């Protein structure tokens, strides 16, 4: 299969490495031809530039990888979105990654399914409307959680505490939430309505924004688990 990738960022780099052994591959960065001899062109650029690049490229099938961008309004196009957080330096276990697939023509879906198979990932047929809703949830479970890790690290640094002692519980949380369901896995002072501990924590947190987030999240948890 002839495959072209436009984009040399985090995802574009990983897609290139995954498809190189099995496909006749072309790989472009900021400069790319508008006419590309390929069975499929995968556009993996910033969200703001995605639809413009998709519209500029002429090939039998042009798809994009943006989770929060709707499928282009073209006769033959689609979406090839892996719901995962990519960085160039981190290894990827493709078998665990879901690809959310969408096509303007149903007869093109086997092409996207074959690309997914070659990568070794899992395929799901998801519409643009469904995907944008899933993308919002993905930001909550990944980006927001990671930001809380950053705030926790800064809190530890402020008190000259070793952040690495939190690594075990950081790893435990996602696995437990998947195994038990997040509602059952929830623990902590807000879950058990331990206001004494919550107030003690608020006295220790120095950054006002972090303090406000801690208080807001604690109140939200308490309301969810009201007796």
Domain stop point among 126, 155, 180: 126
Q: Could you give the C-alpha distances from 94 to 123, 133, 137, in angstroms and in order?
A: 11, 23, 21
Band of pLDDT at residue 227, cut at 50, 70 and 90: low
Same domain, 40 and 146: no
The model's pTM is: 0.83
Same domain, 214 and 119: no
pLDDT digits (tens, 9 = 90+) for 142-172: 999 999 999 999 999 999 999 999 999 999 9
Checking if the pLDDT of 34 tops 70, the result is yes
Would you say the C-alpha torsion 67, 109, 43, 21 has a positive or negative sign?
positive
What DSSP string runs through 161-172?
A: --GGGGHHHHHH
pLDDT average, residue stretch 115-123:
96
Same domain, 7 and 118: yes
Residue for token pair 């939190």: 166
pLDDT attached to residue 226: 83
Average per-residue pLDDT for the chain: 95
What DSSP string runs through 174-208?
A: HHHHHHH-HHHH--STTTTT-HHHHHHHHHH---H
Residue for token pair 């591959």: 25
Is the distance from CB of 2 to CB of 41 less than 8 angstroms? no
Same domain, 71 and 119: yes
pLDDT average, residue stretch 28-39:
96
Tell me the percentage of the chain whose pLDDT exceeds 90. 95
CATH of the domain at 77: 3.40.50.720
pLDDT digits (tens, 9 = 90+) for 63-93: 999 999 999 999 999 999 999 999 988 889 9
Same domain, 102 and 150: no
The domain in which residue 138 lies consists of: 133-224
Same domain, 122 and 10: yes
pLDDT average, residue stretch 123-138:
94
* Domains identified in the chain, total number: 2
């Amino acid at each position: 299969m002839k495959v072209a990738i436009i984009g040399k960022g985090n995802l574009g780099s990983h897609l290139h490495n995954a498809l190189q052994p099995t496909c006749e591959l072309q790989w472009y960065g900021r400069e790319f031809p508008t006419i590309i001899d390929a069975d499929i062109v995968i556009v993996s650029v910033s969200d703001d530039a995605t639809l413009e690049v998709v519209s500029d490229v002429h090939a039998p099938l042009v798809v994009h990888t943006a989770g929060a961008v709707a499928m282009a309004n073209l006769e033959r196009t689609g979406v090839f979105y892996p719901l995962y957080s990519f960085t160039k330096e981190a290894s990827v276990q493709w078998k665990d990654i879901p690809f959310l697939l969408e096509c303007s023509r149903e007869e093109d879906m086997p092409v996207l399914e074959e690309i997914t198979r070659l990568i070794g990932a899992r395929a799901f047929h998801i519409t643009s409307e469904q995907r944008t809703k899933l993308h919002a949830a993905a930001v909550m479970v990944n980006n927001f959680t990671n930001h809380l890790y950053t705030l926790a690290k800064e809190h530890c640094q402020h008190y000259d505490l070793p952040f690495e002692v939190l690594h075990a519980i950081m790893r435990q949380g996602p696995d437990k939430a998947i195994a038990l369901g997040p509602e059952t896995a929830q623990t902590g002072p807000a879950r058990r309505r331990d206001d004494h501990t919550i107030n003690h924590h608020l006295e220790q947190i120095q950054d006002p924004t972090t303090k406000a987030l801690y208080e807001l999240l604690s109140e939200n948890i308490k309301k969810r688990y009201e007796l």
